[in-house]
Copies of this chain bind each other. A is one copy, B any other.
Amino acid sequence: MTTRDIAAELALSVSTVGRALSGDSRISEPTRIRVEAKALELGYVGNTAARLMRGAPSNVVAFMIPDVRNTFYTAAAHALTQSLGSLGVQVMLSETNDDPATELAQIRGMAAARVAGVILTPSPTPKRESIRLLADIPHVQLLRHDRVLGSHWFGVDDAGVLRDATDHLIRLGHERIAYVGGHAGLSTADARLRGFRDAVRGDGCDDLIVRIRPSEVTDARGALRALLDLPSPPTALVTASIRATEGVLEELNDLGIRVPSDLSVVGFGDEPGFSWWGPGLTTMALPVHEIATQCSTWFHQRLTDGWSDTPYRSSSHGYLLERGSTAAA
C-alpha cells in the first residue's frame, strides 16, 4: 500500500495524495476527505524509511544501558519513554551487557538507522570505533560518564552520595568501615570511592575496600565473606552500587549476621525490598527518575533547536534514608 496505489484508485496524482495526507492547505476539502477515506480503507501506513531518505528528521532516540534487569536503569528508561513519548519521540532501548564489543555493534546499528540521537550509560572502556561513530551523532551520557565520549552528562553526585553514607557511620562512632563498590575505570565507581575516601580522611584501611565487577551480585557476596574473615573485621559497611547492595544483603541473610548489632550497613539506592530487608535498610536514595526526565527534556530541546557542542553537565544529589540497619559502634 503506497501513495501511488491510493492515487491510482482515485485517479489523482501521487503528490495530491501526499499533500492531502499531510494536511496541506492547498488541497480542497472534498479531495482531502476522499483521500483520507481511501487511505483508511486500504490500510495505508506511511513508510518511515522513504521519509527518512527524503531528509525527514528521525523521531527515534536510542537509549543504551548495561542491563535491562537492573531497576536503576529501568527507572531511567521509564522516565525517558514517558517524557520523550509525550513529545512524539520513540525510544529504542538496547542492552550492552557492559561489553564494549556489544556496545559497538549497537552503536553501528543506531548510526546506520540514522537515529536522531543517543542517550547512553557507556561501558567501562568504549571501543575507539564507538567513539568515532558517536562523534557524528548527537548524544548525552547518563549516570556514568566517560570524557572521551564528550562532555554532555546528567547524573548523580556520586562522590557526595558516598561521602554522606560514610559520614553517617562515622557520626555513629564507627572506625573500621568497609566499602564494597564497582571496579576501577568506571566514572561512577571512581567517584563513589573518592567520596568514601574523603569521608574517612585517610583513616580507611585499604584492606577494607573491595571493588567488584559491575553487575556481579555473586562478587559482592564473596566480598562480604572476605571482609568478615579479616583478622580485625569491620564494624560497618557501605555499598556503592545496587548490585553490590543486593549481594551483600543476600549474603548477610544467608550467613545469619545480626544487623545492626554485629554490623551496621548503609546501602546504595532504594529498591523495592530494601525497606523490608531485616530491620529495614538504611540507604542512599537517588533521584534517578528526576535525572532521567531532566536529561530527556534537555536533550530533546537541544535536538530540536539544532545541536550544539557546548558542554553541559548536571549532577543531582542523593539523600540518606534512615531505617534500622545502622547503630552506634
Residues of A within 8 A of B (CB): 43, 45-50, 52-53, 67-69, 71, 74-75, 77-78, 81-82, 85, 90-95, 102, 106, 108-109, 111-114, 132-133, 136, 246, 249-250, 253, 271-278
A272 touches B271 (CB 8 A): yes
**Which of A74, A109, A272, A277 has its CB near the most chain B CB atoms (within 10 A)?**
A272
B45 touches A53 (CB 8 A): no
Instruction: Name the 6 nearest CB pairs between A and B, nearest first.
Output: A273-B273, A93-B93, A49-B52, A49-B49, A48-B112, A48-B113
Q: Which of B81, B94, B112, B278 contacts A91 (CB 8 A)?
A: B94
Q: Nearest residue in B to A90 (C-beta to C-beta)?
A: B109
B49 touches A114 (CB 8 A): yes
Q: What is the count of identical protomers in the complex? A: 2
A49 touches B45 (CB 8 A): no
**Which of A67, A68, A92, A250 has its CB near the most chain B CB atoms (within 10 A)?**
A68
CB proximity of A293 to chain B, nearest CB, Å: 14
Q: A114–B45 Cα gap in the complex (Å)?
A: 9
Q: Which of B78, B92, B112 contacts A47 (CB 8 A)?
A: B112
Q: What are 27 contact pairs spanning A and B, CB under 8 A? A: A45-B111, A45-B112, A46-B112, A48-B112, A49-B49, A49-B53, A50-B53, A67-B78, A68-B77, A68-B78, A69-B71, A69-B74, A74-B74, A77-B95, A78-B95, A81-B94, A81-B95, A90-B92, A91-B93, A93-B93, A246-B272, A250-B275, A271-B272, A273-B273, A273-B274, A276-B277, A276-B278
Residues of B within 8 A of A278 (CB): 276
A81 touches B108 (CB 8 A): no
Q: A21–B82 Cα gap in the complex (Å)?
A: 40
